[in-house]
Structure formats: structure tokens, C-alpha cells
């Protein structure tokens, strides 16, 4: 799959109520990791329910460049034949991660812990994102940065450590990408690699390390966690089942809450507590969301969610909740615009270094829609009046979540909303438009 260079604008308008059942695509975080563990486990790993979005497919290609055989058997079903830990090949060409922070940063961890040299690059958005947060711990482990763009930006050529030093690392910000990069490099270290995080971030890497046979202990440490990984395990190929992505489910969920009369069921959504901050917040706002049929899928808790249109009220969202809903603030801001009263979202500094400066992009989108709001330090404050005017054009800055959030807003605002580009939606939720249209959304 490739994403066209021509921007593809789209308009969303108010229409009929949304109804029906819908299963979101596979979780993006777990899909990236499925390819990476398939590379690092020697033998044949199979994956069911993989997200076939551009970000993840690029991770698959990078795994091929490092020596894996990657094969699509059927939609969402993939097989990876990995060379295994310690047996990666040096890639012949630069690795192009497109728009993907997760793919590039986790793979830096893999390369950083192996004696191979690779160049990491991506699109204009990825080239702006800070990589020193990953390179700093990798340098402590013995990796060398041979070249980089100014300020630790891509393109970056990284020479991995043949015999990486196990380290104890305290992550400077709550970030599963930093934690995962250190652990993935630590896999090839002789000894114990420890990561301490002041606030717990998503734990998919830890869970998958255990699933593939590594020895990992996770213990509470203050308000956060300490993870100890014993290096040089025998990673064994294991089947991976990818549950539905709560970050993609967020769009139909909020659309249903704000379009009067709507009533849908979202199937198989992962309810891992480290990913569920948006659900907690929406329920606090008065959302009618019933959690049905809780069960386990691929080692993760999942459930069907019955969502009905609801009168929402503004709330105060604590900064401590941010890691569990870090990608959901743009769509929460849309819900807040339809709520009555003030919603204050605290501690959003990390939003400034995502695919776009999401704090600025959301504020500009709210302004375009005539919604009263303010950015106060790292907080976003939205003054909802229950019925945003809409009618604006939103600049998406190569950011899929900005595009999907403001299209959802247009389904209920008084005037339609237009986003300047939808191409990036293919990075995380390629079927967003047809899936939303099947539920009754009006685009075009």
C-alpha cells in the first residue's frame, strides 16, 4: 500500500442517526509488535487480525529487510519466518517508516541491540519527531549514531551494539515507545535490563515478551512500574491474535454519542486498563456505554460496547490519566465540544510531539468550528455549549487522528466540517470511511 502525495479533502455533514454493529481493525500497537517479535523469534510466527494499515505494513517491510520472510496468507492473517535474536541481517537500503513513530522507534531498539547498521527515515511528519528520547538510552547500551538530521531527527543512521550493555533506565516521560525500545535492545544483552517508569504506559511489549518465552517481571514502583528483563532468552515463535483497537473504536463511539438517536455495538474492543482512559472519561461525562460480554482474546481483555447517543457534561480529566488515553485527546476534544460546560484536559505536553503538534492542531480545529476553547500551559480547556456551529476547514498536518476527529465532529455540528486531507487515515484505520458510512455517516 502507498499513500498518495495529493491531498484528499473530505466533508462530513449532519445526517441520520448511526446504527448497526461494527468491529474496529486490529490494534496498531500490537500489530507492530507482532511483526517485530516474528523477526526476533527463530521460526514461524502466525498473526491473526493484523491491522493492515500503512504504518504496520512498513514495519513488516523493515522486518523483511532485516532478514525475516513476511507473507500475507489471507486478510489479517500473516506468517513471519524470523531469523531470530542475534541473527539479523544488515538492511541494504534505508528503512522507510512513513508516518510511524511506533514502527521507527521500536525498530531502533531492535537494531540498537544488534551488531547491524541501519538508516531510519520517514515522511515529513516523522522527520520532525524527536528521536533522542530513544537514541539516548541506546547510546548508553553501546549503540552509535553515525549520522542524524539536526536535533536527533530522521534520517538517522544507527550502528547497533554487538554486545549491548544491560542498563537500568528511568524513562524521562511516560512513553511505551521509549520503554519498548530499551527492552527490545535489552533482549540481546547479557544480564538484566531494567526500565522504571514514573507512570505506567501501555504494557503490550511486556505481555508479548512473556508470550514469546522471555523472563520478565513487572512490579509496582511508586506511582508507576519497574520492569526487569533477563537478556538473551530463547524466543519461541507463538501465534498472535490481535484484538480490536480501542484508539480506532474511539471514533464511532464518539460519533454515536453526539449524533442524536444513535445506537451501535462496537465488537471485540480491547479494554486493557492502560488503554481505557477515554472510556472512563466518557462515562464520567454521562455517556451511555454498556460493557457486554467481557472475555479474553490473544491474552487481552476485550468486550462488546453498546453505545447510545447521550447528553454529555464537561469534566476535569487528570494528568495522571493521560498515558492511558494519549492518542484519544483529539476525539475527546470533539466530545467536549458537544458537552455542556467546561472540560479541562490536563498535562498534555506529549501531544506536541505526535504526528503533528496535536495541541495546536486541535485548538485550530476547534477555532474553525466556532468552539470556545483555550490552551493554558499544557492543558486544553473546551467550553461546550452542546451544539457546535461547525462550518470550518481543518488543517490535518499529516495527522490521521486530527482528520478522523474533525470528520466525526461534522456528523453532528450545525454546519458541515471539511478536513484538508484524509490520506493519512490509511496509516491506522484504512476502512474508516466505508465503516462509518455503513453505520449511517454522511461524507462527501
Ligand X SMILES: O=C(O)C1=C[C@@H](OP(=O)(O)O)[C@@H](O)[C@H](O)C1
Annotated binding site for phosphoenolpyruvate: 28, 101, 129, 177, 358, 401
What does the block give as the cell for 12?
462530513
Nearest-angstrom CA–CA distance, 181 and 242: 21
Whether 9 contacts 202, CB under 8 Å? no
Nearer to ligand PEP, 231 or 251 (CB): 251
Question: Judged by CB under 6 A, does residue 351 bind ligand PEP?
Answer: no
Contact 330, 402 (CB under 8 A): yes
Q: How far apart are CA 126 and CA 24, in angstroms?
A: 25
Residue 5 burial by Cβ neighbours in a 10 Å radius (0-12, 13-18, 19+): exposed
Footprint on residues 22-81 left by ligand PEP (CB under 6 A): 28, 55
Q: Is the peptide bond before 382 cis (omega within 30 degrees of 0)?
A: no
Q: Which residues pair with 120 in a beta bridge?
A: 95, 156
Grid coordinates given for 71: 507473507
Among ligand PEP, ligand X, none, residue 428 binds (CB under 5-8 Å by kind):
ligand PEP
Residues forming contacts to ligand X in the complex (CB under 6 A) are 29, 102, 175-177, 180, 202, 326-327, 350
179 near ligand PEP (CB under 6 A)? no
Residue 193 binding result from ligand X, ligand PEP, none, given CB thresholds of 5 to 8 Å by partner type = none
Instruction: Measure CA of the first residue to CA of the last residue in the chain; give whole Å.
Output: 23
Query: Measured from the CB of residue 249, what is the shortest distance to ligand PEP in angstroms?
Result: 13
Quickly tell me which residue has 496498531 as its cell: 28
Spatial strand order in the sheet of 393-394? 393-394, 417-419, 10-13, 442-443
Q: Considering CB distances under 5 to 8 angstroms, the limit depending on partner class, which of ligand X, ligand PEP, none binds residue 96? A: none
Q: Is 401 in the site for ligand PEP (CB under 6 A)?
A: yes
Output DSSP code: residue 17.
P
Question: With left for phi above 0 and alpha for psi between -120 and 50, is residue 213 left, alpha or beta?
Answer: left
Nearest in space to 245 (alpha carbons), one of 300, 192, 294, 285: 300
Residue 176 partner contact from ligand PEP, ligand X, none using kind-dependent CB cut-offs of 5 to 8 Å: ligand X
Q: Which is nearer to ligand PEP, 100 or 403 (CB)?
A: 100
**Rounded alpha-carbon distances, angstroms, from residue 309 to 190, 263, 405, 440:** 54, 6, 17, 14
Contact with ligand PEP (CB under 6 A) among 199, 304, 327, 421: 327
Taking the complex as a whole, the smallest distance from the CB of residue 376 to ligand PEP amounts, in Å, to 23
Q: How far is the CB of 393 from ligand X (least distance, A)?
A: 26
Sole window of 95-103, 283-291, 332-340, 374-382 interacting with ligand PEP (rule: CB under 6 A)? 95-103
100 binds, among ligand PEP, ligand X, none (CB under 5 to 8 A by kind): ligand PEP
Gyration radius (Cα) of the chain, Å: 21
Contact status: 354 vs ligand PEP (CB under 6 A) = yes
In the annotated binding site for 3-phosphoshikimate, the residues are 28-29, 33, 175, 177, 327, 354
Of these, 197, 199, 203, 355, which contacts ligand PEP (CB under 6 A)?
355
Which of ligand PEP, ligand X, none is residue 175 near (CB under 5 to 8 Å by kind)? ligand X
φ, ψ (nearest 5 deg) of residue 380 = -110, 130
Residue 304 near ligand PEP by CB under 6 A: no
Nearest distance, CB of residue 78 and ligand X, angstroms: 18
How many C-beta neighbours within 10 Å does residue 434 have?
A: 11
Count of residues engaged in binding ligand PEP, rule: CB under 6 A: 10
Closest CA to 346 of 322, 323, 330: 322
| Residues whose CB is less than 8 angstroms from the CB of residue 178 and which lie 6 or more positions away in sequence, other chains included | 105, 133, 134, 137, 171, 172
Nearer to ligand X, 64 or 350 (CB): 350
As annotated, the active-site residues are 327
Of these partners, ligand X, ligand PEP, none, which one is at the site of residue 180 (CB under 5 to 8 Å by kind)?
ligand X
Mark the segment that binds ligand PEP (CB under 6 A) among 94-102, 152-160, 265-273, 299-307: 94-102
In angstroms, give the least distance from the CB of 176 to ligand PEP.
10
* Residue with the CB atom nearest ligand PEP in the bound state: 101
C-alpha cell at 227: 520492569
Residues that bind ligand PEP (CB under 6 A): 28, 55, 100-102, 327, 354-355, 401, 428
Amino acid at each position: 500500500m502507498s499513500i498518495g502525495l495529493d491531498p484528499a479533502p473530505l466533508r462530513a455533514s449532519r445526517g441520520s442517526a448511526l446504527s448497526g454493529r461494527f468491529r474496529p481493525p486490529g490494534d496498531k500497537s500490537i500489530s507492530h509488535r507482532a511483526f517485530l517479535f516474528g523477526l526476533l523469534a527463530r521460526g514461524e510466527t502466525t498473526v491473526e487480525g493484523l491491522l493492515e494499515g500503512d504504518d504496520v505494513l512498513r514495519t513488516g517491510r523493515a522486518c523483511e529487510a532485516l532478514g525475516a520472510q513476511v507473507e500475507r496468507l489471507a486478510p489479517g492473517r500473516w506468517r513471519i519466518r524470523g531469523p531470530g535474536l542475534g541473527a539479523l541481517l544488515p538492511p541494504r537500503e534505508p528503512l522507510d517508516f512513513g508516518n510511524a513513530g511506533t514502527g521507527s522507534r521500536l525498530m531502533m531498539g531492535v537494531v540498537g541491540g544488534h551488531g547491524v547498521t541501519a538508516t531510519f527515515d520517514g515522511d515529513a511528519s516523522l522527520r520532525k519527531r524527536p528521536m533522542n528520547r530513544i537514541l539516548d538510552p541506546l547510546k548508553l547500551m553501546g549503540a552509535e549514531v553515525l549520522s542524524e538530521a539536526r536535533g536527533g531527527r530522521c534520517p538517522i543512521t544507527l550502528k547497533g551494539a554487538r554486545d549491548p550493555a544491560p542498563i537500568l533506565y528511568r524513562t524521562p516521560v511516560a512513553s511505551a515507545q521509549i520503554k519498548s525500545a530499551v527492552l527490545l535492545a535489552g533482549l540481546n544483552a547479557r544480564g538484566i535490563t531494567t526500565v522504571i517508569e514514573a507512570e505506567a504506559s501501555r504494557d503490550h511489549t511486556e505481555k508479548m515478551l512473556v508470550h514469546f518465552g522471555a523472563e520478565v517481571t513487572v512490579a509496582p514502583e511508586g506511582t508507576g512500574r519497574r520492569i526487569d528483563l533477563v537478556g538473551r532468552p530463547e524466543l519461541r515463535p507463538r501465534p498472535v491474535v490481535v484484538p480490536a483497537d480501542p484508539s480506532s473504536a474511539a471514533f464511532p463511539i464518539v460519533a454515536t454519542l453526539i449524533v442524536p438517536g444513535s445506537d451501535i455495538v462496537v465488537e471485540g474492543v480491547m479494554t486493557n486498563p492502560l488503554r481505557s482512559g477515554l472510556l472512563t472519561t466518557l462515562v464520567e461525562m454521562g455517556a451511555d456505554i454498556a460493557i457486554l460480554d467481557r472475555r479474553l482474546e490473544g491474552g487481552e481483555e476485550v468486550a462488546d460496547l453498546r453505545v447510545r447517543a447521550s447528553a454529555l457534561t464537561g469534566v476535569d480529566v487528570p494528568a495522571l490519566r493521560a498515558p492511558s488515553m494519549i492518542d484519544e485527546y483529539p476525539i475527546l476534544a470533539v466530545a467536549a465540544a458537544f458537552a455542556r460546560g467546561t472540560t479541562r484536559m490536563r498535562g498534555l505536553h506529549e501531544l506536541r510531539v505526535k504526528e503533528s503538534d496535536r495541541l495546536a492542531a486541535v485548538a485550530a480545529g476547534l477555532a474553525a468550528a466556532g468552539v470556545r476553547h483555550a490552551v493554558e500551559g499544557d492543558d486544553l480547556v473546551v467550553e461546550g455549549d452542546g451544539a457546535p456551529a461547525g462550518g470550518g476547514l481543518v488543517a490535518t498536518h499529516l495527522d490521521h487522528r486530527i482528520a478522523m476527529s474533525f470528520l466525526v465532529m461534522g456528523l453532528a455540528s450545525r454546519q458541515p466540517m471539511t478536513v484538508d486531507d484524509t490520506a493519512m487515515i490509511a496509516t491506522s484505520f484504512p476502512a474508516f470511511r466505508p465503516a462509518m458510512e455503513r453505520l449511517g455517516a454522511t461524507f462527501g
